[in-house]
């Protein structure tokens, strides 16, 4: 029987862009910042497996991560 082991070493995040988003923070009333982040997972630090781009929202005053609900 042959066993195949897969080791995912780490995910590397790169900030692509930051911009001010409309609205205010519900906790402190500060301005909201939208950050585009690209995450790249690598197999044993060499071969890229997956690349995802996400938009994250956070407050510039209290640094809380904000979640949007539809």
Q: What is the DSSP string of the chain?
A: -------EEEEEEEEEEEEEEEEE-TTT--EEEEEEEEEEEEETTTEEEEEEEEEEEEETTT--EE----
pLDDT band at 8 (very low <50, low <70, confident <90, very high): low
Q: In this model, does residue 3 exceed pLDDT 80?
A: no
Residue 25 within any structural domain of the chain = yes
Nearest alpha-carbon partner for 41 in 52, 30, 32: 52
The whole-number pLDDT of residue 23 equals: 92
Domains of the chain: total? 1
Residue 69 within any structural domain of the chain = no
pLDDT tens digit string along 16-67?
999 999 999 999 999 999 999 998 877 766 677 778 899 999 999 999 999 9
Residue 24 within any structural domain of the chain = yes
Provide mean pLDDT across the span 13-17: 91
Residue 33 within any structural domain of the chain = yes
Domain that residue 43 falls in:
9-64
Residue 34 within any structural domain of the chain = yes
């Amino acid at each position: 029987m042959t066993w195949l082991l897969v080791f995912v070493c780490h995910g590397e995040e790169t900030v692509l862009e930051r911009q001010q988003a409309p609205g205010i923070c519900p906790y402190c009333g500060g301005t909201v910042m939208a950050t585009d982040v690209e995450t790249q997972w690598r197999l044993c630090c060499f071969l890229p497996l997956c690349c995802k781009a996400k938009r994250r929202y956070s407050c510039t005053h209290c640094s809380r991560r904000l979640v949007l609900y539809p």
